[in-house]
Amino acid sequence: MEWLPHITVATIVEDNGRFLMVEEHKAGRNVLNQPAGHLDPDETLTEAAVRETLEETGWDVEPTGVIGIYLYTAPSNGVTYQRVCFSAKAVKHHPDYQLDDGIVGAKWLTRSELIAQREHWRSELIIRCIDDYLAGHHFSLELIRPSL
């Protein structure tokens, strides 16, 4: 059997202590996640983060840095994901934007509000990325190198 990790992106968007989160319907229940998704062919990691944030929240964002690169194996299916997590600032909201299928909506939540809803997290990566962001793990976007 061939093992292939899945390349994903996520975006931390913070506004006055609240974080832009996505409520989505997965496996018969609603879960919380950062705006996140898979890298598409012929796009950069940064482009993927901007696209996924818009598709899942209706927000245009401007990436400001890289928070970290994470490996996560989902206990539900055994799939390994490599997540590149970006920080970004909210630029413009499109309230009538047609969100991706399965997306219930976007929410702005504090870290404390997220902790109180732990049973609704899509994965532990949610709090790990936020805590890394809050700890000041901000790397230049130049860390992400273009294809040759």
Tokens of 48: 């993927």
Look at residue 1 and tell me whether its pLDDT is greater than 70: no
Tens of pLDDT, residues 112-148: 999 999 999 999 999 999 999 999 999 999 999 876 5
- Residue 31 pairs in a beta bridge with 24
Average pLDDT score over residue span 16-37: 95
Single-letter amino acid, residue 139? F
Tens of pLDDT, residues 55-102: 999 999 999 999 999 999 988 888 889 999 999 999 999 999 999 999
pTM greater than the 0.85 cutoff: yes
Burial of 106 (0-12, 13-18, 19+ CB in 10 A): buried
